[in-house]
């Protein structure tokens, strides 16, 4: 199977996605994550677009990369400029990267209506720019912008742009579905035609996802002869984004048998989440390969099959991409799932045991009240421990009181909380200010309990979610609160339900502390 070169454009094309904004340090951190994963080339930015990108290129030059080669992105010279006086080309050289990606129009309509140039002017812009960069010792990727639209509108013109680029010294002809509107059949036909006309050329593919086909289009392009694929992690990018490398790379390796320099595919999940964390964007649970739910099983029949035969309802083993299998517990999961979840608490438990039946009944009772334990496995374990008589509470709430104030006197601490807890025969009272009543209650509880449990210094809340369960009740609605907590080595989730959002938060918060204190 072919050797495929991976070009990651998260820091350039991905940065054009809505709500994404990378600092220079963010870009450096993402570049290191991509390099560690084994990406061949990082298209890291456009020097002519903003000073931040140029500053990034300057700092990147001092970063030792193990696998990836950096690439700067720019356009062909302007039609009214020579290459020597074109500022964009000058900044491309100043970025000092071994590779440059130069974009030129491959659609006749785009040439005449967007840049208002003639065919001859467009050809000269491409030829002059690539020749200039090659003379400066650069490896050049030619991004044939709007190629697939151009191939359908005026195929001879589209092919001539590629021929011009190749004759001028371009190392790769990258065919761009810039509008993201082409389907796999169209992509395959066009790439196959390019391969037949230019049999020795290195062909790349750059797809956008505007009709949801970017990954599929990239895969069929490889089948048709492309040996370079471009994309972004998690599909970040303008409009609907780019081809998602977190899906495309494992598809090429595992489904198509392609070879590439990503030799540790088990780092995929970690890399995707590192990039997402730096980007401040949550990865959807259902994202293939790397999503939290990608290998999560809920249906009773599915779980029973998985317990009987490894991989019964999975297309690959999750550890191949660094993910893990999860069995979700709910009213549709069945006793086998519950037993799998709790048997470590009591090895004598069986599907027929009365203790398991008691846990099932308690679970159904809690779910009827609005609890959901699929994502709150720490609360599920505490529920099972309580039913089995295995849990000794580490503290008891005597009372709490919260007070909110608006507007806040210092624009920060708009709430206060007082709490009284009992540990054994000792009572501790504490108070704290916070950015809202839940934060104040959290701070007060920690302050009170750290007298008895100093290890709580390591515990911190990492996420807080609220879901309204019955919207018809308006402000009297019942809410479900999910709290994610961590101590530096593990993360766990707890849940609370009430018509009072503070009480629901307290229930989830108390479970979070109890779970951490389990020995």
Residues 295-305 have a mean pLDDT of 80
Q: Which of 368, 384, 399 is the last residue of a domain?
A: 368
Q: What is the pLDDT of residue 413?
A: 72
Given a cut of 60, whether residue 66 has pLDDT beyond it is yes
Residues 355-382 have a mean pLDDT of 86
Q: What is the pLDDT of residue 411?
A: 63
Residues 299-327 have a mean pLDDT of 86
In terms of domains, do 191 and 305 share one?
Answer: no
Q: What is the pLDDT of residue 303?
A: 74
Count CA atoms within 13 Å of residue 190 on its CB side.
32
CATH number at residue 144: 3.20.20.70
pLDDT in tens, 424-457: 999 999 999 988 888 899 999 999 999 999 988 8
Closest CA to 362 of 326, 389, 402: 389
Instruction: Answer whether 95's CB lies under 8 Å from 72's CB.
Output: yes
| Residue in this structure with the two tokens 């303008």, named with its chain if needed | 238
Strand partners of residue 417: 402, 432
What is the spatial distance between Cα 234 and Cα 290, in angstroms, rounded to a whole number?
9
Asked whether residue 305 is domain-assigned, the answer is: yes
What is the spatial distance between Cα 168 and Cα 156, in angstroms, rounded to a whole number?
18
Residues 334-347 have a mean pLDDT of 79
pLDDT in tens, 193-218: 999 999 999 999 999 999 999 999 99
Confidence of residue 332 (pLDDT cuts 50, 70, 90): low
Q: Which of 320, 345, 368 is the last residue of a domain?
A: 368
Asked whether residue 393 is domain-assigned, the answer is: no
Asked whether residue 21 is domain-assigned, the answer is: yes
Contacts of 152 (CB under 8 A, 6+ apart): 186, 190
Strand partners of residue 298: none
Q: What DSSP string describes 310-349? A: TTTT-SS-GGGGT---EE--STTT-HHHHHHHHTTT-TT-
Given a cut of 60, whether residue 331 has pLDDT beyond it is no
What is the spatial distance between Cα 165 and Cα 89, in angstroms, rounded to a whole number?
16
What is the spatial distance between Cα 204 and Cα 191, in angstroms, rounded to a whole number?
9
Asked whether residue 193 is domain-assigned, the answer is: yes
Pairing of strands 5-8, 228-231: parallel
Q: What is the pLDDT of residue 123?
A: 97
Domain that holds residue 358: 296-368
C-alpha 18 chain-centroid distance: 15
In terms of domains, do 214 and 120 share one?
Answer: yes
Confidence of residue 472 (pLDDT cuts 50, 70, 90): low
Residue 349: other Cβ atoms inside 10 A: 18
In terms of domains, do 257 and 311 share one?
Answer: no
Given a cut of 90, whether residue 465 has pLDDT beyond it is no
Q: Which helix (H) or strand (E) holds 496?
A: strand 491-498
In terms of domains, do 307 and 248 share one?
Answer: no
Q: What is the pLDDT of residue 334?
A: 63
Asked whether residue 489 is domain-assigned, the answer is: no
Asked whether residue 11 is domain-assigned, the answer is: yes
Q: Which of 263, 288, 320 is the last residue of a domain?
A: 263
Residues 52-80 have a mean pLDDT of 94
In terms of domains, do 258 and 302 share one?
Answer: no
Q: What angle do CA 27, 58, 202 make, to 5 degrees?
A: 75
In terms of domains, do 38 and 84 share one?
Answer: yes
Confidence of residue 519 (pLDDT cuts 50, 70, 90): low
Asked whether residue 70 is domain-assigned, the answer is: yes
Contacts of 425 (CB under 8 A, 6+ apart): none
Q: How far is CA 434 from CA 24, 421, 450, 514, in A?
A: 32, 19, 18, 22
Residues 359-382 have a mean pLDDT of 86
**What are the percentages of helix, strand and coil residues in the chain, rounded to 5?**
45, 20, 35
In terms of domains, do 41 and 108 share one?
Answer: yes
Q: What is the pLDDT of residue 221?
A: 98
Given a cut of 80, whether residue 375 has pLDDT beyond it is no
In terms of domains, do 231 and 308 share one?
Answer: no
In terms of domains, do 237 and 349 share one?
Answer: no
In terms of domains, do 211 and 343 share one?
Answer: no
Is the pLDDT higher at 283 or at 489? 283
Residues 318-339 have a mean pLDDT of 77
Q: What is the pLDDT of residue 349?
A: 86
In terms of domains, do 259 and 304 share one?
Answer: no
Q: What is the pTM of this model?
A: 0.75
Asked whether residue 451 is domain-assigned, the answer is: no
pLDDT in tens, 475-487: 778 899 999 888 8
Residues 334-352 have a mean pLDDT of 80
What is the spatial distance between Cα 510 and Cα 487, in angstroms, rounded to a whole number?
15
Instruction: Answer whether 385's CB lies under 8 Å from 358's CB.
Output: no
Residues 79-87 have a mean pLDDT of 93
Q: How far is CA 112 from CA 79, 120, 129, 182, in A?
A: 12, 11, 19, 22
In terms of domains, do 179 and 315 share one?
Answer: no
Domain count, the chain: 2
Q: What is the pLDDT of residue 410?
A: 65
């Amino acid at each position: 199977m072919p050797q495929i070169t991976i070009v990651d454009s998260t820091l350039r094309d991905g940065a054009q996605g809505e709500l994404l904004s990378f600092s220079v340090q963010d870009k450096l951190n993402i570049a290191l994550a991509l390099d560690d994963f084994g990406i061949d080339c990082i298209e890291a930015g456009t020097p002519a677009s903003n000073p931040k990108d140029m500053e990034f290129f300057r700092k990147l030059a001092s970063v030792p990369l193990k696998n990836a080669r950096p690439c700067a992105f720019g356009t062909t010279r302007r039609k009214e400029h020579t290459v020597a006086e074109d500022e964009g080309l000058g900044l491309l050289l100043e970025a000092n990267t071994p590779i440059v990606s130069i974009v030129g129009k491959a659609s006749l309509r785009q040439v005449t209506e967007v840049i208002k140039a003639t065919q001859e002017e467009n050809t000269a812009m491409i030829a002059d720019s690539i020749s200039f960069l090659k003379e400066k010792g650069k490896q050049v990727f030619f991004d044939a912008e709007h190629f697939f639209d151009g191939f359908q509108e005026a195929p001879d013109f589209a092919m001539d742009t590629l021929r011009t680029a190749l004759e001028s010294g371009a190392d790769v002809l990258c065919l761009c579905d810039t509008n993201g509107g082409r389907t796999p059949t169209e992509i395959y036909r066009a790439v196959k035609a390019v391969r037949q006309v230019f049999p020795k050329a290195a062909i790349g593919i750059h797809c956008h996802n505007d009709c949801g086909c970017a990954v599929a289009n990239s895969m069929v392009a490889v089948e048709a002869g492309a040996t370079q694929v471009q994309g972004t992690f998690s599909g970040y990018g303008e409009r609907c984004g780019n081809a998602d490398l977190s899906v495309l790379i494992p598809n090429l390796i595992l489904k198509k048998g392609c070879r590439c320099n990503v030799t540790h595919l088990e780092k995929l999940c970690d890399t995707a989440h590192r990039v997402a964390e730096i980007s401040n964007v949550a990865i959807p649970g259902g994202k293939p390969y790397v999503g939290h739910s990608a290998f999560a099983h809920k249906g009773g029949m599915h779980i029973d099959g998985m317990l009987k035969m490894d991989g019964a309802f999975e297309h690959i083993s999750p550890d191949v991409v660094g993910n893990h299998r999860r069995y979700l517990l709910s009213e549709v999961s069945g006793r086998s799932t519950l037993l799998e979840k709790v048997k470590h608490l009591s090895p004598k438990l069986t599907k027929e045991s009365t203790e398991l039946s008691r846990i099932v009944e308690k679970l159904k009772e809690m779910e009827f009240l609005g609890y959901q334990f699929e994502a709150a496995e720490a609360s599920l374990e505490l529920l099972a421990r309580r039913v089995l008589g295995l849990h000794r509470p580490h503290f008891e709430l005597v009372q709490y009181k919260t007070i909110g104030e608006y507007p806040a006197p210092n624009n920060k601490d708009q709430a206060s909380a007082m709490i009284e807890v009992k540990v054994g025969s000792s009572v501790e009272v504490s108070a704290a200010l916070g950015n809202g009543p839940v934060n104040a209650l959290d701070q007060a509880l920690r302050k009170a309990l750290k007298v008895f449990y100093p290890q709580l210094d390591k515990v911190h809340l990492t996420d807080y979610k609220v879901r309204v369960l019955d919207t018809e009740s308006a402000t009297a609605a019942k809410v479900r609160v999910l709290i994610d907590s961590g101590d530096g080595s593990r993360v766990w989730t707890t849940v609370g339900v009430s018509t009072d959002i503070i009480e629901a938060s307290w229930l989830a918060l108390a479970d979070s502390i109890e779970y951490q204190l389990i020995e």
